[in-house]
Structures are given as C-alpha cells and as structure tokens.
Structure 1
Amino acid sequence: MTKYLMGIDNGGTSTKAAIYDSAGHEVAKSTIYTEMITPHEFWTERDMSELREVNFKVIRNVLKKSDINPKQVVGIGITGHGNGLYLIGKNGTFIRNGIISTDNRANQIVEKWLSDEKYETIVRPRTYATIWSSQPASLLKWLDENEPEIYDKTEYVFMITDLVRYWLTGKAGLEKSNASGTSLFNQKTEEFDEKVFEFFGIKKWLKKMPPLVESTEKCGAITKEVSKQTGLSEGTPVAGGLFDITASALSTGLVNHDRLSIVTGTWSINQYIDNKISVVKDLFMTSDYPIKGEYLLTEASPTSGSNLTWFIDTFMKDHSQLLEMVNDNISIYDYCSKLVATVKPWESKLIFYPFIFGSNAGIANSSAGFIGATKDTSLAQFVNAIYEGVCFAHKAHVEKLAKINANILNSPIRIAGGITNSNIWLQMFADVFQKPLELVNVKENGAMGASMTAGVMSGLFTDFSSASKSMVHISKTISPNPKLAEVYKEKYQLYQQVVKDQSFVWNDIGNVKLATV
C-alpha cells in the first residue's frame, strides 16, 4: 500500500492542506481564504471558530481530491505563520480572536523595551533576536495592560501551528522552532527563559506555556471526533510541525551548511543554517532548526512578490478583467512579465522601494514609493521597477547574512515561491545577484516542509537529509548574464541611496499631524 504524507499550512489569510507521496509529488491540494479582522487601526485578527472550521474543511477537500484511502496517510505535519497569539481557555474554549503576525498594536511597548539598555544585556544574548510588535511577549504585555481579564480565562498560549495540532489531537504542546522565534526562548538551553519573561514583565504567563515538543515528535493522533469531521483515519499520528520559515527552508533542501535559500511571496525570506551563532544586533532572527545542533539564521521582511499583487489590484484591474474576457491562456501575472520583457535594464532609472506591507530599511515610518517617474514613464517601466525593487530588497537581506557568513554566496542559490512562476523575474534575480539559481519544484513550501516532519516521525525517512534527497528536486538552473552585472550594480547602488535619502522624508511624514475637518 502506497504511503502518503499530509502537510497543513496556515498563513495570515489562507489555510492549505496538501498530500504528498514519498518522492515529493503533490497528489492533491486544497486552499481556503479567510477574513482578516481589523477592528482597530494596526490590529489584525481572525475568528477562531472560522479558523478551526476551515482547517477541517481543507482536510476534507484534499482527501476527496486525492481519492486515496485515508489509512494511506501515515503522518500529518503542520506549519503556519510564526508569532501572533492564539489563546485557548479551559476545555478548548475560545476566549478572544486570534492575533495574526502582522498586528502592530504593541508597537509603543516594543519601542520602550528596545530603548532600555538592559535589552542588550538580558534579552538579546539569550534569544539572539530583536523583539517586534506581533510577537507573543509584546501582545501578552498589551493584553495585561488593556484586557487584564484574559489571563485568568487562558489555559494555553499557542502559536497557530500548535493550535491546529491541539484541535486535531486534543494534546497541548509548543513546537521548538516556533518557540525559538518568539523572543522568549533561550537558544542555548532550548527552554523558555525566566529572566527574559521578567524583563518583559510577563513572568506570570510562563504558567500558561504548554510543554515544548520536537518537530518530528509524535504529539498525539487524530481523535475519533476529528476523524468524523475531517475524514482522516482515527489514530493517524501528528508530528510537532514547524515554524513556517523553517518549513520553507526544508522544502528547498536546506540541510547543509553554506547554502543560501530564498523564498519569495508576501515575505522576502532569506536564510541559511549553521551550527554556530553569535549575537548580531540587526539580524532579524536566529531560530531552532529541526536538525540537531543546527540553527536557522534568517533575514526577512514583507517586501517580496506581494508588492506586485498590490500594484495589480490597485492600478491594473481593467487590464486583469480584459484579459479574463479575451484570453484564457494568459494571466495578469504573465502579462506583467511580458511587459517587463520589453524594458532593457539600462533604459529606465525608475526606482521602487517595495515597502507596501512593511520595510527592511530599518527606518521608522518608511513606506513604499516610486522615484524617477516622468510623463514618458510607461506602464512596463513601472512594473519593471517593482520586479527590480523586490530583487533589491532580497539582496539587501542577503548582504546582511553574507557579513556573518560569506561562504553562503559560494554556491548556487536555492529559490522557491511565487516569483518562480515568472521566467523573466527569475532571470532578473540571477542577474541582480550574479549567481546561478537552482529552482526547487515546490508549489507549497510550507505544506511540503511540514509533511517532511511527518515523514521522519512516521519512519518513512530516517532523517531530514534522506527526506530532502527523496522529496526535494531541482527542476532547472538559471545562469546569470555577466553583461548585465555592471548595470544592475549601479541600479542597486541607486536604490540604496534613494532609500537612505528618503529617511528624512519618512521621518517628516511620520511626525505630521493633519488637521481634521
């Protein structure tokens, strides 16, 4: 009987389930989009009842699409966005909405912590990370100050991965790679750190943290009730799962040192693994990796391909609708790539900084924008600037990583995610970096990486190296055009200078308070 693995991935606004065979072939996939609730400025939440129902529904859907016997699913792995906050009350009750990892309500709390010199002596040397506003520490502190009644109602503090596993198995646990990304986890002891909780003023919440579990640990099995609601076989084992950036790394075959992995999508994710770590003040995150003794060093920000989606939705709806009416064979994204193909890199100095959903510039109040437009600037040049801006944002992250470990640029770059659907964009990445790109043939990086944890847990694979060898495949390699090295070097330098010069403008905009009428 053929054995299959299931991966479940919960992003900020979507829930996905996919089934894979042991060779990494995607047998079936189901995706359901959910509503982001924004009751106040800077808040991003989701309804817990809806979240549970869509997780059960994508499982039902993918089993139906796959047309396999549920007993052939030998293990389930779960991933999802890191951080945010999902609280559960007694007997699994819902006590408030879940909070997504794009929430910014606790920003002022974070600014106060980072301005305290004790942060650099107490927190960073233990966590190897920089606290940010949608991490559990920030949100728990905000709840203490604004919704203090929540503490007594809470039984468990979960990340979304752990919440979904709890719903499937009825057992509580907090997976280590997720925990290590919370700024509450001591990277050396691999435990929650009491001194860090004390610094943040949330020590009492330690009692609400579930036991830590490993990514490949069997953390329960599908219950009888869940079997009825999902179609899964009762007793199917469920693995600890992964933080989504960790799942993305595994899905690109990141199992060896000195290899760079880039995943494109809403977030620009750039990372490598190492068995050595050090305190680096401006590094986005160091987190636990599911290979013993290894860490994942990550530079990331929401500055990737979703900027193009924003531009299309905002300025190109007419083009999109027209394409739907007259041509079934070309999508609006294909159309954008065709536009970019008409622009020579040296023909336009239009610069776009891709900060619609957030910035990696390290400058307060920074936002997106175009610089260099004239009456002669074409639509193709605007789209081309977006393509280039996303490449440059990734490059800025990679340069930070290369300062820590220059060896990551000695090998081809593994790349996956949304932009891999565009050959034009892939070639631009290769030309900007002047490095070969190895394209990993994975459509759903999170679900694939999560399924690999189930494969190791179930004994289908002995470890992640064997799982990677079996499931991760390079579909093609894109070589850079050396003739374009100098022009992209100049354009990247121009991009960097524009971002630097904009800091004064962003600061002024942030301080302006407009009169109301």
Structure 2
Amino acid sequence: MAYLMGIDNGGTFVKAGIVDENGNILAVAKEPVHNLTPQAGFTERDMDELWSQNAKVIRGAIAKAGIDPKEIRGVSFSGHGKGLYMVDAQGRPSYRGILSTDTRAWEYVKQWSQDGTKEKVFAKTFQDILACQPVALLAWIRDHDSEALQRTRWVFSINDYIRFCLTGVAGGEYTALSGGNLVNMTTFQYDKELMALFGLQEVYDKLPPLCYSAQICGGVTEAAAAQTGLAVGTPCAAGMFDVDACGLAVGVDNPEALCMIAGTWSINEFITRAPITNGTVSLNSMYCIPGYFLIEESSPTSAGNMEWFINNLLSYERAECKAKGGSIYDLTNRWVEETDPASLKVIFLPFLNGSNESAQARGTFIGLTDFNTKAHMLRAVYEGIVFSHMTHVKRLLKNRPAPKAIRLAGGAANSKVWVQIFADALQIPIETVACEEQGILGAAIAAGVGTGVFESYEAAADQAVAVRETVYPRPEMKEIYEEKYARYRATIDALANVWDVFQ
C-alpha cells in the first residue's frame, strides 16, 4: 500500500493527514494556530511557531496512522491564498507571516482603483486587486518597513514557506501566486512591467522559480526529517491554493461543476478552459489541473463571522455546552432551526474581516429591536453569510448556466440547517461530500499525481470523491429569501456613503 501526506495550513488550524492510494484519509493531526492582531486590520503569525506547529502535526499524523514513514511516497500542501511570507538569504523570516484576513493595505487598493492602475493590472492578470494580496502587502511593507523588504531574499505563499522548510528549495507555486496578482496570465510568467505598476520593481528578483502543483520541488532534508519524522528524501510536490484543493476534493474537475467553500473566506468557483475577462468576475487564476483556469468570486465574508459571534457573544453558552459534554455548534444549529426565517427582519452584513462591496465596509447588524434575542442575531449571521455567497454566485452565473447542483465545502457544510438555508436562498440543490478534510485530500492528490500513485487529477477525484447528501430547495421558501436578499442588498446600498466615517 502506498501512502501520501497532505498538509493543510488554513486560517484557524494547521493539519496533516495520511491518505492511502484509494483516496481514504487514515489519520489526521491538527493544531489551532495562534494569530496575532497587533492593531486593527492586522492579522499575522510568528513564522517560526508556524513551522514548529507544522512539524508537530506531521509527526502526529504519522504516529496516528501507525505506518513506517518510508512508506509515504510523497508530501504536498494546501494553504490559504493571498497573504505574505518572506525569508532572508539564510532562510530566516524577514517579517511576520501575514494572513488573508489582513486589511492594512486597503488604502493602496483604493488609490490603485482611482489612478487607473487597477485596469492596467487586470489587463495582465485578469484579477482585481485585494488588500490581502501580496502585491498590496509588499507595497505597504515597502513604505512602512523598508529594511524588512531589503533583507528579504524570497517572497513566498504559505505553502511555499512550509515546503521550503522541508526541502530547503525555494519555489513559487502557480495557483497561489497567480491568485495573488503576481503572474502575467497571458505569458504565465512573472512580469517586470506588472511589478512596476505596483511600484515593486525591486521585488521582481525576490520572486521564486515557478512550479506546478504536482511538480516535485525537492526532498525532505535531514534537518527537517529530524523535526517531522518524515524519511529523508521524501518527495515534496509544490501543492496548491486551498480553494483549488477543496475544489478538487469535492469534484471540481470539469467545467460543469460549481463549488462554494464556506470557511474563513466565502469562496465560489468553477473552472474553464479560458479566463473570463469581461469584468463580470473579479478573479481568474491558474487551476491545479493543467489547462484549466479557476474562475473565482471570493471575499473574507463567510463562516469566520460566525466564529467571531461565538467567541464574543456566546462564551457562556460555549462553556456550558462543554461542561455538559456537548458542542456549541449543536446549540447554534438548534437556535437557528427554531427561529422563523419569514418573521425575522434583522440583517447582518458579514464584513468583519473585509467585504465584497467596499474596502472600507464593516460588519453590521441592522433592524434590531428589544424583542430580538441572541438566537435572532445568530440566524441573521447564518443568513448574511449565505447572502454574501449568493452575491458571488450571481456574478459567476452571468458567465455560465446554473449547475444541476452546487457542491458545498467548509465548516458550513457540516450544519444541516445551514445547508438548507443555502439551498432555499439559491433555489439550487446543494451537495455535501463524505470527506470533511478537503484541504488534506486535495494536497495528497497532488502528491499522488506527482509521484505516479495517481494517473491524473481526474482519476484521483473520481476515486476519492463521494457525495454524502443532497439537500433540495423548498419552493415555498423562494419568495421569503428573495425578499430577505433584497433587504440585504438595500442595506448595503444605503450604507455605501457611510463607511468612510469609520476610517
């Protein structure tokens, strides 16, 4: 039996898993990550601590699986997109790691939108510019900590950094870097003129050699083997942006499929043979399957908002659930199920970490009265997150027919009541898959393709992906959610001129 390892670095956890040659996940080890918020708009990580946590979960997964590390044919990676991880010539961090929920560079995005840079960039990358993308963050560091940028030898995505720690080989994986406005989508190479548009000419030589998701980029070093328990020389494939990994792990291997990922970010995607450049979608990037482009509509407006609500408004309830041996999610799902959607007028804008409307937009409850309870507010959070996904999906569907069903991944897929809200609001069947660790599976598939364990991405997905449940829309809910979505959109429109007051 051949084994593979997938390593997944997300917004809240770092995970490693062992996957067999049939696509079954045999063991998973995970650790919560410690994110730093030194000031509003900043979301950072200690990169040494991040590597230590990766090493720990790698050791843990091997131990849980009870296998000989030499039986692991290959390792690969899934990680959050955007963000920034930089090292110096000695391979040491030259700045703290920056996550995809960081918004410090919003003023740069606003300026580029006003001075014509946005249009010039789109002509090369087929992407809008986001505050959390490496180009915006690099511009901020250039102006606020130029010494850190001067010390930097390599500019990495999170996958590139962890792979570098394992192999000592610098590489830049296509799906993540093309999703960060760093790659010319016509030439599929870095572009000096593109970097100059951002005022980042000096960064061009700090960009690592580009590599494809299943490309073997080096083997595990002796030092990394001692830290992780992996065998020396174990091949490491480049890996992929987590939206690719999750898409692959739910069966996005053909243009018919459409996927939503409801995690920290609201990710909504499908794949095509050619990019969509008519301005109706905001992000085109290279997909992990060669020859396909990932058409993506996304924003940090998904289930991370619910975690904030739980952490800040349900701490007592969470402690009580834990004391009774239960889960806070059982309680939240019950509260939402018991709240009548037709009578609830409260609207929540899920913009705590950024938005898909305005760079300055903030999280908002509107319509509260003294009648409303935490349960009402919670249902508004569930619905607001669905409506944000819905905004993205409507944009995607301007360029393709509606699918027969939408595959849903991420934390929301584990809540039956939430999945039903998605189905009712979109009036499209929603499918969830049996595998709950899509990032690990997608990464392991890349390792398998790169080492010959799997013949192709498509063959691996066909073998590993199974639909767990299909949730059908209720026709009687169509009008209710159309009215609620209209109220959600009206709230956003009414607040459009207010956001600057909060800066």
TM-score under structure 1 length normalisation: 0.93
How far is the alpha carbon of 1:309 from its aligned partner? 1.8
Which one of 410, 419, 425 corresponds to residue 426 of structure 1?
419
Decide whether the 8 Å contact of 2:430 with 2:471 is kept in 1: yes
Aligned with 1:92: secondary structure?
coil
Would you say 1:373 and 2:372 are equivalent positions? no
**CA gap 1:248/1:487 in 2 versus in 1, 3 angstroms:** same
Aligned to 1:107: 106
Amino acid at match of 1:381: H
Amino acid at match of 2:80: H
How far is the alpha carbon of 1:45 from its aligned partner? 1.9
Which 4+ stretches in 1 moved above 4 angstroms?
none
Would you say 1:348 and 2:344 are equivalent positions? yes
Moved more, 131-140 or 481-490: 131-140
Q: Distance in 2 between matches of 1:378 and 1:37?
A: 31
Q: Distance in 2 between matches of 1:356 and 1:158?
A: 26
How far is the alpha carbon of 1:282 from its aligned partner? 6.0
Decide whether the 8 Å contact of 2:118 with 2:128 is kept in 1: no
How far is the alpha carbon of 1:381 from its aligned partner? 2.1
Aligned with 2:123: secondary structure?
helix
Aligned to 1:515: none
Aligned to 1:313: 311
Aligned to 2:353: 357
Aligned to 1:75: 74
How far is the alpha carbon of 1:432 from its aligned partner? 1.0
Would you say 1:324 and 2:317 are equivalent positions? no
Deviations 1:363-386 (A, max 9, x none): 353222222222222333222222
| Aligned 1:246-265 pairs, distance under 5 A | 246-265=244-263
Q: Distance in 1 between matches of 2:240 and 2:207?
A: 17
How far is the alpha carbon of 1:184 from its aligned partner? 2.0
Structure 1: 5+ residue stretches without partners: 512-517
Aligned with 1:124: secondary structure?
helix
| Aligned 1:348-497 pairs, distance under 5 A | 348-360=344-356, 362-405=357-400, 407=401, 409-497=402-490
Aligned with 1:7: secondary structure?
strand
% identical equivalent positions: 39
How far is the alpha carbon of 1:118 from its aligned partner? 4.5
Aligned with 1:498: secondary structure?
helix
**CA gap 1:381/1:69 in 2 versus in 1, 3 angstroms:** same
How far is the alpha carbon of 1:214 from its aligned partner? 0.8
Q: Distance in 1 between matches of 2:365 and 2:38?
A: 31
Aligned to 2:211: 213
Decide whether the 8 Å contact of 1:76 with 1:454 is kept in 2: yes
Q: Distance in 2 between matches of 1:111 and 1:211?
A: 30
Aligned with 1:79: secondary structure?
strand
Decide whether the 8 Å contact of 1:416 with 1:442 is kept in 2: no
How far is the alpha carbon of 1:394 from its aligned partner? 0.8
Deviations 1:412-434 (A, max 9, x none): 11111111221111111111111
Aligned with 1:32: secondary structure?
strand
Aligned with 2:181: secondary structure?
coil
Aligned with 1:293: secondary structure?
coil
Amino acid at match of 2:335: L
Decide whether the 8 Å contact of 2:261 with 2:410 is kept in 1: yes
Q: Distance in 2 between matches of 1:371 and 1:106?
A: 28
**CA gap 1:39/1:364 in 2 versus in 1, 3 angstroms:** closer
Q: Distance in 2 between matches of 1:259 and 1:183?
A: 25
Amino acid at match of 1:366: A
Amino acid at match of 1:79: S
Decide whether the 8 Å contact of 2:42 with 2:102 is kept in 1: yes
Decide whether the 8 Å contact of 2:106 with 2:359 is kept in 1: no
Would you say 1:228 and 2:226 are equivalent positions? yes
How far is the alpha carbon of 1:229 from its aligned partner? 1.5
How far is the alpha carbon of 1:280 from its aligned partner? 4.1
How far is the alpha carbon of 1:51 from its aligned partner? 1.5
Which one of 159, 162, 170 corresponds to residue 161 of structure 1?
159
Structure 2: 5+ residue stretches without partners: none
Amino acid at match of 1:384: R
TM-score under structure 2 length normalisation: 0.96
Aligned to 1:8: 7
Q: Distance in 2 between matches of 1:76 and 1:455?
A: 8
Aligned to 1:514: none
Q: Distance in 1 between matches of 2:368 and 2:137?
A: 41
Amino acid at match of 1:279: T
**CA gap 1:146/1:364 in 2 versus in 1, 3 angstroms:** closer
Would you say 1:35 and 2:28 are equivalent positions? no
Aligned with 2:95: secondary structure?
coil
Amino acid at match of 2:327: S
Aligned with 1:191: secondary structure?
coil
Aligned with 1:388: secondary structure?
helix
Decide whether the 8 Å contact of 2:105 with 2:132 is kept in 1: yes
**CA gap 1:243/1:53 in 2 versus in 1, 3 angstroms:** same
**CA gap 1:41/1:430 in 2 versus in 1, 3 angstroms:** closer
Aligned with 2:360: secondary structure?
coil
**CA gap 1:510/1:280 in 2 versus in 1, 3 angstroms:** farther
Deviations 1:154-207 (A, max 9, x none): 221111111111111111110111110121211111101121111112122111
> What is the count of residue pairs matched by the alignment?
503
**CA gap 1:189/1:395 in 2 versus in 1, 3 angstroms:** same
Decide whether the 8 Å contact of 1:416 with 1:441 is kept in 2: no
**CA gap 1:282/1:106 in 2 versus in 1, 3 angstroms:** farther
Aligned with 1:404: secondary structure?
coil
CA RMSD of aligned residues (A): 1.7
Decide whether the 8 Å contact of 2:18 with 2:27 is kept in 1: yes
Deviations 1:242-285 (A, max 9, x none): 01111121111100103210111111111000112232446331
Aligned to 1:187: 185
Moved more, 377-386 or 389-398: 377-386
How far is the alpha carbon of 1:124 from its aligned partner? 0.7
Aligned with 2:195: secondary structure?
helix
How far is the alpha carbon of 1:288 from its aligned partner? 0.3
Aligned with 2:446: secondary structure?
helix
Which one of 229, 235, 238 corresponds to residue 237 of structure 1?
235
Decide whether the 8 Å contact of 1:14 with 1:33 is kept in 2: yes
Which one of 165, 172, 187 corresponds to residue 174 of structure 1?
172
Moved more, 207-216 or 130-139: 130-139
Decide whether the 8 Å contact of 1:174 with 1:212 is kept in 2: yes
Decide whether the 8 Å contact of 1:434 with 1:485 is kept in 2: yes
Deviations 1:300-338 (A, max 9, x none): 11211222221122222222222222x32x311111111
